[in-house]
């Protein structure tokens, strides 16, 4: 859309009150060089130029690959029918509401954190010596 007016109220009226793929005030074609270009509604095909062209014309596809890892398959076997008592018991254990935070493993977590921190400190000191 091209609008030619010096009246800022009319400019604002067109900018806020209309829908278009792009708009140029008091100039022609310049928005095409730098801004995404494209229509809206049924006549619009999306936005073009640079990244916008890529996003418009590339179909993004989600893909999940099952690798049939024996351990993973054994653990995930409960999700497939037929559902036996053992499968239902395993699923209900996984879905059971937990009560609070178990602090039993806190010392191990702290020691792991100290190990990671000391590794980072030692590697930083060794890099500074080089």
Residue 46 is assigned to a structural domain of this protein: yes
Do residues 49 and 78 share a domain? no
Do residues 53 and 70 share a domain? no
Q: Tally the C-alpha atoms within 13 A of residue 91's C-alpha that lie toward its C-beta.
A: 12
Residue 91 is assigned to a structural domain of this protein: yes
Domain count across the chain: 2
Residue 34 is assigned to a structural domain of this protein: yes
Domain that holds residue 77: 64-95
SS3 24: strand
Q: What is the mean pLDDT of residues 15-41?
A: 74
- The pLDDT assigned to 78 comes to 82
The answer to whether the beta carbons of residues 36 and 49 sit under 8 Å apart is yes
- The pLDDT assigned to 9 comes to 94
- Render the burial of 92-123: b for 16+ CB within 10 Å, e for the rest: eeeeeeeeeeeeeeeeeeeeeeeeeeeeeeee
Tokens of 62: 């989600």
Tokens of 36: 């995404």
Residue 33 is assigned to a structural domain of this protein: yes
- The pLDDT assigned to 80 comes to 80
Do residues 6 and 52 share a domain? yes
- Residue 43 has φ and ψ, to the nearest 5°, of -85, -15
Do residues 49 and 84 share a domain? no
42 vs 65: CA distance, rounded Å: 36
| Residue-wise pLDDT tens digits, 54-96 | 776 776 666 666 677 888 778 788 878 888 898 888 888 888 8
**CA 68 to mean position of chain CA atoms:** 27
């Amino acid at each position: 859309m091209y609008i030619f007016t010096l009246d800022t109220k009319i400019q604002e009226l067109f900018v806020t009150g209309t829908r278009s793929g792009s708009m140029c005030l008091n100039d022609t074609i310049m928005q095409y060089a730098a801004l995404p270009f494209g229509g809206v509604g049924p006549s619009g095909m999306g936005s073009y130029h640079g990244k916008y062209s890529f996003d418009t014309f590339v179909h993004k596809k989600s893909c999940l690959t099952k690798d049939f890892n024996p351990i993973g398959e054994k653990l995930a076997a409960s999700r497939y029918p037929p559902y036996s008592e053992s499968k239902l018991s395993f699923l209900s254990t996984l879905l059971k509401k937990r009560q609070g935070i178990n602090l039993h493993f806190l010392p191990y977590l702290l020691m792991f954190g100290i190990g990671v921190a000391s590794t980072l400190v030692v590697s930083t000191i060794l890099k500074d010596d080089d």
